[in-house]
Structure 1
Amino acid sequence: MRVLKELEDAKIVIVDLEVNLGNKTRSAPTLCAKYRGKIIPLNTAHDGRPILMKEENSIE
């Protein structure tokens, strides 16, 4: 594994994220990246597994 480059315009944020799990709505502090004006969760809402920081996973 190696670092290709550091993203200058990205930062780590903690957001209060609301998700629908079945017929229930829940919210919790969630580790995210803020990149190009979008919020990208860094773990899954239901079990906390890490996910890749991809723009298609973003919340606008």
Structure 2
Amino acid sequence: MRVKQILTDVQLVIADLEVHLNGELRTSPTLCALIPAANGHEEKIVPLNTPDGRPIFMNLENAIQPLSD
């Protein structure tokens, strides 16, 4: 295993996410990576665990829309 790149601007945050599970709307504090906006791309929030707490790999395809003011 080797380090290919270190993402220096990424922050670890805990976001209170709403998730539909089994027909119910649930909220869950979720560990996320916050990737700041850069090069014309919007800010991204990528969950690092599932709603039931299991860890997952960071995948930019799982990014969710950040809160808008």
TM-score relative to the length of structure 1: 0.84
Aligned position for 1:38: 44
* Dislocated runs of 4+, deviation >6 Å: none
TM-score relative to the length of structure 2: 0.75
Q: Secondary structure at the match of 2:61?
A: helix
Q: Secondary structure at the match of 2:14?
A: strand
Matched, 1:3 2:6: no
> Across the two proteins, how many residue pairs are aligned to each other?
59
- The residue type paired with residue 55 of structure 1 is L
Distance 1:25 1:2 in 2: 40
Q: Which has the higher contact order (CA 8 A, sep 6+)?
A: 1
Q: Secondary structure at the match of 1:48?
A: coil
Instruction: Give the greater-gyration-radius structure (CA).
Output: 2
Structure 2: gaps (5+ residues): 37-42
What is the aligned-residue identity percentage? 56
Q: Which structure 2 residues correspond to residues 1-60 of structure 1 after superposition, within 5 A?
A: 1-36=1-36, 37-45=43-51, 47-60=52-65
Name the structure where strand makes up a greater proportion of residues: 1
